[in-house]
């Protein structure tokens, strides 16, 4: 870490990656929800959280072209109905120097629409999930219900820091069960209808490319 900055740089509703200090191979994704008292920040995480009170953690996030990080301690936690961490307010932030990647790790809501069934017996299914990463060619989506491989899906989502709603179609190329959720890998369709949306996503990823790999 280098180039310390101040807490005034820290935004809310920010996708973050959480690493236990004593086990840097383990990572959890979440959202920084903001300051809830004079000495605490609140972070939401996915249900795979296996952390405890007094654990020391490193929190990293991408914001305004900078990868920011800080070390803190868990003061309290909640498992249900939504996993939440209450952590000590850090004394300051640091700017992280991270390697380049063509895939952005993030945690943002995504609306998913697809058709299930064949012939006259088809149903349109609408799911709410989380976008875990994205590139110019595809993405990874977590949902509570499984989407069968080879399904064509339509995704609607906002990228961090943007008001523009992206609408892209793609094909599920892999689906696996992960604890209480399903992990789907989606390849975007290189179709004329998708051309503008794909170009916007690729441009956004490339713009942040130097800072985006929060998993290393």
Count of alpha carbons within 13 angstroms of residue 197, beta-carbon side:
23
- Cβ–Cβ < 8 Å for 89, 70: no
**Radius of gyration of the chain from Cα atoms?**
18
Alpha-carbon torsion, ordered 89, 43, 80, 162, to 10 deg? 160
Domains and CATH numbers, the chain: 2-96 (2.30.110.10), 104-207 (2.40.10.220)
Q: Which two tokens stand for residue 164?
A: 């523009």
pLDDT digit string (tens) for the chain, length 216 residues: 344 456 665 667 788 888 888 876 678 888 888 888 888 999 998 777 788 999 999 988 877 666 788 899 999 999 888 889 999 998 877 776 544 446 778 889 999 999 987 777 788 999 999 999 898 889 999 999 999 999 999 999 999 878 889 999 999 999 988 778 899 999 999 876 777 888 888 888 877 654 434 433
> Over the stretch 62-89, which tens digit does the pLDDT of each residue have?
776 667 888 999 999 998 888 899 999 9
pLDDT value at residue 86 = 96
Distances (CA, A) of 157 to 71, 160, 169: 30, 10, 12
pTM > 0.75: yes or no = no
Longest Cα–Cα distance in the chain: 61
């Amino acid at each position: 870490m280098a180039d310390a900055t101040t807490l005034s740089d820290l935004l809310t509703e920010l996708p973050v990656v959480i690493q236990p200090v004593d086990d840097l191979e383990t990572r959890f994704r979440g959202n920084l929800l903001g300051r809830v008292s004079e000495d605490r920040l609140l972070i939401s995480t996915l249900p795979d959280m296996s952390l405890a009170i007094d654990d020391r953690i490193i929190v990293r996030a991408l914001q305004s072209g900078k990868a920011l990080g800080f070390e803190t301690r868990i003061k309290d936690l909640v498992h249900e109905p939504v996993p939440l961490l209450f952590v000590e307010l850090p004394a300051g932030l640091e700017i992280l120097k991270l390697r380049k990647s063509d895939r952005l790790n993030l945690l943002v809501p995504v609306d998913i629409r697809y058709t299930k069934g064949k012939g006259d017996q088809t149903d349109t299914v609408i799911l709410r999930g989380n976008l875990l990463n994205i590139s110019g060619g595809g993405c990874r989506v977590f949902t509570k219900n499984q989407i069968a491989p080879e399904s064509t899906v339509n995704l609607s989502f906002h990228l961090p820091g943007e008001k523009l709603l992206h609408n892209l179609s793609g094909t599920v190329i892999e689906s696996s069960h992960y604890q209480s959720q399903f992990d789907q890998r989606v390849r975007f369709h290189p179709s004329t209808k998708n051309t503008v949306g794909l170009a916007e996503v690729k441009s956004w990823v490339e713009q942040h490319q130097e800072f985006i790999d929060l998993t290393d």
